[in-house]
Structure 1
Amino acid sequence: MITVLASIQKDNYKTEIKSGSKSIISDEPHDMGGQNLGFTPSELLASSLASCTAITLKMYADRKKWDLAEAMIEVNFENEPRENLSNITMNIRIFGELDEVQRKRLLEIAHNCPIHRILQKPIEIVTHLKD
């Protein structure tokens, strides 16, 4: 199980996020009343998919001993609350000495990253208010 702790205090809307000994800052942009000190929560969601996909491609290419010099993953995330719809578009660019069969296989592998699989399934969120 992964445990993450997010803590917000008086500063609008700077949020410190911790997992073990690691920490990052999330915030909202100035036009939303924030300080623009870190990724917005939506950017964090999109970056989870982008980074997981990149890592998955690198791990697979390394196992196959393929020459994947670089993978660039661009994720566009749109949330339409009024329509109860979210759209994610992912554009992948891969560089290296890869033939067409390897490139197609890497595209297939991109769909197997753990975050991609999580986002494609129904998600249950259970919330408790603790003392």
Structure 2
Amino acid sequence: MSKVVTVSAEQPNGLVANIQMGEQRFTIDESGLEKGIDTGPTPYDYILSALGSCTVITLHMYAQRKQWPLQKAEVSLTHERIYATDCAQCDDQAAKISRIIKKLKLIGELTPEQRLRLEIIASKCPVQKTLQAGIVIQTELLPA
């Protein structure tokens, strides 16, 4: 079981979320959105960060186990919403779906075969598997 993550936001500015994970604390600040100001990471930035960090760590674990000369793994990620009409498998053509683009850079004296295998492994990190499989989220209202 994972550790408990507690998130809260309160007035007068409910667009700043305070996050606590064990002893670690940080914030997500979307208070500048209406003014077009980037005041800090958004929730989607953290999703991309989780996916990216899981990807590069998985690649290094695999390369170390195989004793391959991977010096650095880098992934750049973007998130976009696209219309379901761009997706042949979608039922609701008016809906939008999320798409994440991962651009992978591998540095090291790797053979073409090793690079290809690492590209495949990059799609097998646990966070990506979780996101692709879908998540059941259960909300329970607690007393105030």
Q: Is the Cα–Cα contact under 8 Å of residues 12 and 35 in structure 1 kept in the other structure?
A: no
SS of residue matched to 1:69: strand
* 1:10-44 C-alpha deviation (Å, 9 max, x unpaired): 33422121111122211116133697443101111
Q: Is the Cα–Cα contact under 8 Å of residues 14 and 37 in structure 1 kept in the other structure?
A: no
The 1:100/1:41 distance shift into structure 2, 3 A limit, reads same
- C-alpha distance in 1, partners of 2:134/2:97? 13
Q: Is 2:30 the partner of 1:18?
A: no
Q: Is the Cα–Cα contact under 8 Å of residues 32 and 39 in structure 2 kept in the other structure?
A: no
Which position in structure 2 is the counterpart of 1:98?
A: 110
**TM-align CA RMSD:** 2.1
Runs of 4+ in structure 1 deviating by more than 6 angstroms, as ranges, are none
Q: Is 2:109 the partner of 1:121?
A: no
Q: Which amino acid aligns with 2:60?
A: K
Q: Residues 52-131 of structure 1: matches in 2 within 5 Å? A: 52-80=54-82, 83-131=95-143
Identical aligned pairs, as a percentage?
36
Q: Is 2:7 the partner of 1:6?
A: yes
Which position in structure 2 is the counterpart of 1:32?
A: 34
- C-alpha distance in 1, partners of 2:61/2:31? 34
TM-score normalised by L of structure 1 = 0.88
Once the two structures are overlaid, the 10-residue window that deviates more, 61-70 or 78-87, is: 78-87
- C-alpha distance in 2, partners of 1:24/1:37? 13
Q: What count of residue pairs does the alignment treat as equivalent? A: 131
TM-score normalised by L of structure 2 = 0.81
Q: Is the Cα–Cα contact under 8 Å of residues 12 and 33 in structure 1 kept in the other structure?
A: no
Once the two structures are overlaid, the 10-residue window that deviates more, 33-42 or 10-19, is: 33-42
Q: Which 5+ residue runs of structure 1 have no aligned equivalent?
A: none
SS of residue matched to 1:94: strand
Q: Which 5+ residue runs of structure 2 have no aligned equivalent?
A: 84-93
Whichever of the two has the greater Rg, that structure is 2
